[in-house]
């Protein structure tokens, strides 16, 4: 199975699927269709009913092979890679039987994947590690998940002795820029429950995620010749800096973990006359999340009292909410995934996602959708890697989940 997973994974990461948050189209980049169309073709070659719709969503069905009444479940992964780093001309490197030491992924650039900086590496001694060559990201987020789902589906087709209900497969674009399920037709997909294969470390099982909002702060300054600026000039960049200074330092991402929320400054541009700063606001607790948004608005009000009405504007836009509220209503779907991991020899690590997945929004659209590990680590950058054995374990979890649904009395 490992060789099949590796072959699929390498085929998928060779296709550049970077999404673009500045695009107004959906999908945001046409090149995502290169992989979406390939996956649709491969699913049809499996003998499945599969289609790609006008929004780029690939949906396929593996029919049940038993008359037993079993809930329809789905497995979902996204095809796009992060805009944070290039996903073009990915050149993976394979490090077999990892010895626990440094991995020099690029001698010329002096890039070293070291357990001193990335201690998680120590968990994978003896495994086959797949890395980038340091010039691109790898794309394990989430092409590892895609390879796992495709391998599991093919395995079920080739092993009809494994009884299962109807299974849905879904591949989505634009997850990395928060638009992954903007046009996803839950009713058409037809699953009662689903799982995204989009987590990181082996054993991760997540049914909680951040509540999320985007905060855009605009500052209207007043530009006057600096030689005659006394009591006249308003330097919008300095006022924007004041705004940032009002937000709690200990609520920045670099000082938070676990259930801690944060304000994360992600972009800034400006001049004396106009400045815009953008944040993402996050918290697992809904009340704390709402409080953070109120405080962000109050900071703008405070500065407007100092500098004048509407000098500072704070606009907040909700992005997604914590799926826990929806998943807890059908918590057996988490328990089944947990049991699946135990039965294939994996210790479940149930933890909150310090981010979001397509599943968080799908859960509010009527499709409860926890997240299962896909095995990749250090996403979105040149130090990304994935152990081949982790992808194999994730594939085994998919197969065991399917088996447990078929065995359960519904």
Catalytic residue IDs = 80, 175
For the sheet with 211-220, list strands across it.
Answer: 262-270, 274-283, 211-220, 312-320
Q: Which residue has the tokens 């250090």?
A: 378
> Is the backbone peptide bond immediately before 27 cis, with ω within 30 degrees of 0?
yes
Q: Could you tell me the CA-to-CA distances from 184 to 73, 81, 153, 181 in Å, in that order?
A: 16, 19, 21, 5
The residues, ordered by sequence, that sit 6+ positions from 17 with a Cβ below 8 Å of its Cβ are: 29, 31, 32, 34, 35, 79, 80, 81, 87, 139, 173
- CA neighbours closer than 13 Å in the CB half-sphere of residue 392: 13
Short-list 144, 94, 103, CA closest to 122 = 103
The angle that helices 140-158 and 32-45 make with each other, rounded to 10 degrees, is 10
């Amino acid at each position: 199975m490992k060789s099949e997973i590796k072959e699929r994974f390498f085929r998928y990461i060779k296709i550049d699927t970077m999404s673009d948050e500045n695009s107004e189209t959906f999908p945001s980049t046409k090149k995502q269709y290169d992989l979406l169309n390939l996956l649709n073709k491969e699913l049809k070659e499996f003998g499945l009913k599969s289609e790609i719709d006008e929004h780029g969503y690939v949906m396929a069905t593996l029919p049940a092979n038993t008359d037993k009444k079993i809930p329809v479940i789905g497995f979902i992964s996204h095809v796009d890679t992060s805009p944070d780093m290039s996903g073009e001309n990915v050149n993976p490197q394979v490090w077999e039987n990892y010895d626990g030491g440094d991995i020099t992924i690029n001698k010329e650039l002096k890039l070293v994947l070291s357990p001193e900086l990335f201690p998680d590496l120590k968990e994978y001694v003896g495994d086959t590690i797949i890395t980038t060559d340091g010039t691109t990201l790898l794309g394990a987020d989430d092409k590892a998940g895609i390879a796992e789902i495709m391998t599991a589906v093919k395995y079920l087709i080739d092993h009809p002795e494994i009884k299962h209900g109807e299974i849905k497969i879904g591949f989505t674009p634009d997850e990395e820029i928060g638009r992954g399920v903007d046009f996803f037709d839950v009713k058409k997909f037809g699953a009662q429950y689903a799982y995204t294969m989009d987590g990181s470390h082996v054993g991760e099982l997540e049914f909680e995620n951040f509540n999320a909002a985007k905060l855009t702060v605009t500052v209207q300054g007043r530009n006057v010749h600096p030689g005659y600026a006394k009591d006249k000039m308003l330097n919008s960049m300095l006022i924007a800096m004041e705004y940032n200074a009002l937000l709690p330092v200990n609520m920045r991402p670099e000082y938070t973990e676990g259930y801690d929320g944060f304000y994360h400054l992600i972009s800034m541009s400006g001049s004396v006359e106009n400045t815009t700063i953008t944040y993402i606001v996050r918290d697992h607790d809904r009340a704390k999340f709402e409080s953070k948004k109120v405080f962000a608005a109050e900071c703008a009000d405070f500065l407007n009292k100092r500098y004048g009405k509407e000098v500072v504007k704070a606009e907040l836009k909700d992005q997604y909410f914590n799926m826990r509220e929806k998943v807890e209503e059908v918590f057996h779907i988490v328990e089944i995934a947990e049991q699946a991991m135990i039965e294939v020899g994996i210790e479940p690590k149930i933890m909150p996602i310090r981010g979001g997945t397509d599943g968080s929004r799908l859960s509010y659209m009527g499709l409860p959708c926890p997240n299962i590990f896909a095995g990749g680590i250090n996403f979105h950058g040149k130090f990304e890697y994935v152990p081949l054995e982790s992808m194999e374990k994730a594939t085994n979890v998919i197969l065991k989940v399917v088996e447990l649904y078929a065995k359960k009395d519904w």
